[in-house]
């Protein structure tokens, strides 16, 4: 048994639950442990379902718990079907992702059932979002371990300064230190997130360019218009919800009239449903599609 680690944990619990608000550096100095170790201990408290709250970007508190806690799992039974409904309701909510993640974790812990923990959210993605959110609040660099890149078709570690999440929390916008660029990283492609004990160094370069409705970024913009059947319109909105504001109905067709930052996103959508979509007065997109077909289908022609 590591008695030293237990002593450090108990002393940290004592300080965090006291009437004095200690910052992370102050805790590090008083306990003679690194800031990185304190963050690891805070993670341990959360995983053990202690109520850890953040009063400021650099101050955390451990709430005191009542002497006897009622075990609600003995009073309430939830079926698998009810869990599906509960998950659907949570997924429909908008707002602070951290609040939703905490709620989902508490429900999972409360009912302690495999069916519930499998149904409610993606646990690994939730952990990634929590760590990235913490790094944003503390303005620290992180390492994305084993990130699977769709562009380079490679798996590597990336050191970034996370800036903010996309509206649906599927992506994180971040400054990548090696390339010196703002990039979009898919949460689902991250192996793990390691918070580095290094402050942001490039905050003056944290200018995020809003992606287009196909979640693409780029320096050049193109105006495109697509004429779609009802089926194509529904698939567009289901896969790319942000496109809804640019969709209108005229006659028996639906039209997407929007500006894109990169033709690759809208091009892939068109090619997948070319029998349901027509390109209207969009020469740049038409030329992109022709080049794509010539390049990728020449061996079949």
Q: For residue 131, is it within any domain?
A: no
Whole-number pLDDT of residue 299: 66
Residues 236 and 290 in one domain: yes
Nearest of 172, 237, 174, 165 to residue 202 by alpha carbon:
174
Residues 115 and 140 in one domain: no
Whole-number pLDDT of residue 90: 62
Q: For residue 278, is it within any domain?
A: yes
Q: Specify the CATH number for the domain of residue 175.
A: 2.30.30
Domain enclosing residue 167, as ranges: 136-205
For 157, half-sphere exposure in the C-beta direction (CA atoms, 13 angstrom radius) is 10
Residues 228 and 294 in one domain: yes
Total domains in the chain come to 4
Q: For residue 188, is it within any domain?
A: yes
Whole-number pLDDT of residue 73: 47
Whole-number pLDDT of residue 117: 40
Q: For residue 126, is it within any domain?
A: no
Q: For residue 169, is it within any domain?
A: yes
Q: For residue 217, is it within any domain?
A: no
Separation CA 135–CA 193 (nearest Å): 10
Residues 146 and 114 in one domain: no
Residues 141 and 191 in one domain: yes
Q: For residue 226, is it within any domain?
A: yes
Residues 228 and 285 in one domain: yes
Residues 179 and 231 in one domain: no
Q: Kind and range of the H or E element at 118? A: helix 114-119
- Cα-Cα-Cα-Cα torsion 33, 37, 39, 43, nearest 10 degrees, comes to -130
Q: Are 64 and 17 a contacting pair, CB within 8 Å? A: yes
Q: Specify the CATH number for the domain of residue 42.
A: 1.10.10.10
Separation CA 271–CA 205 (nearest Å): 36
Residues 104 and 158 in one domain: no
pTM of the model: 0.48
Residues 200 and 242 in one domain: no
Separation CA 62–CA 53 (nearest Å): 7
pLDDT averaged per 10 residues in sequence order, the chain, 301 residues:
69 83 87 86 78 80 58 49 58 56 58 42 74 90 92 88 81 92 89 92 86 80 94 91 90 93 92 94 94 79 61
Q: Are 119 and 87 a contacting pair, CB within 8 Å? A: yes
Q: For residue 144, is it within any domain?
A: yes
Whole-number pLDDT of residue 114: 39
Separation CA 86–CA 111 (nearest Å): 13
Residues 154 and 84 in one domain: no
Q: Which of 152, 175, 205 is the last residue of a domain?
A: 205
Residues 143 and 170 in one domain: yes
Whole-number pLDDT of residue 301: 61
Residues 227 and 295 in one domain: yes
Q: Specify the CATH number for the domain of residue 288.
A: 3.30.70
Q: Find residue 260's DSSP bridge partners.
A: 222
Question: Which residues in 57-91 are b (16+ Cβ under 10 Å) and which e?
Answer: ebebbbeeeeeeeeeeeeeeebeeeebeebbeeee
Whole-number pLDDT of residue 120: 41
Separation CA 130–CA 102 (nearest Å): 9
């Amino acid at each position: 048994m590591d008695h030293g680690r237990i002593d450090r944990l108990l002393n940290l619990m004592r300080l965090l639950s006291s009437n004095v608000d200690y910052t992370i550096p102050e805790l590090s100095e008083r306990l003679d442990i690194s800031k990185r170790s304190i963050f690891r201990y805070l993670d341990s408290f959360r995983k053990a379902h202690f109520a850890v709250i953040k009063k400021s970007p650099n101050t955390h508190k451990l709430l005191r718990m009542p002497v006897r806690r009622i075990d609600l799992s003995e009073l309430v039974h939830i079926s698998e079907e009810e869990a599906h409904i509960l998950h659907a309701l949570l997924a429909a909510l908008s707002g602070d992702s951290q609040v939703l993640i905490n709620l989902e974790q508490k429900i999972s812990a409360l009912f302690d059932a495999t069916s519930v923990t499998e149904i409610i959210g993606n646990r690994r993605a939730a952990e990634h979002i929590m760590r990235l959110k913490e790094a944003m609040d503390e303005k620290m660099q992180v390492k994305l371990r084993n990130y699977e890149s769709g562009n380079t078709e490679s798996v590597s570690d990336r050191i970034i300064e996370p800036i903010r999440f996309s509206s649906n929390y599927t992506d994180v916008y971040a400054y990548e230190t090696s390339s010196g660029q703002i990039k979009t990283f898919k949460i689902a492609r991250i192996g793990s997130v390691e918070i580095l004990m290094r402050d942001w160094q490039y905050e003056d370069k944290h200018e995020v360019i809003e992606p287009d409705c196909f979640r693409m970024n780029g320096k050049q913009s193109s105006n495109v218009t697509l004429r779609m059947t009802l089926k194509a319109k529904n698939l567009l909105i289901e896969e790319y919800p942000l496109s809804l504001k640019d969709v209108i109905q005229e006659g028996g067709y639906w039209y997407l009239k929007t500006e894109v930052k990169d033709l690759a996103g809208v091009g892939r959508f068109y090619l997948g449903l070319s029998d349901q979509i027509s390109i209207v007065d969009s020469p740049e997109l038409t030329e992109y599609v022709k080049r794509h077909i010539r390049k990728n289908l020449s061996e079949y022609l």
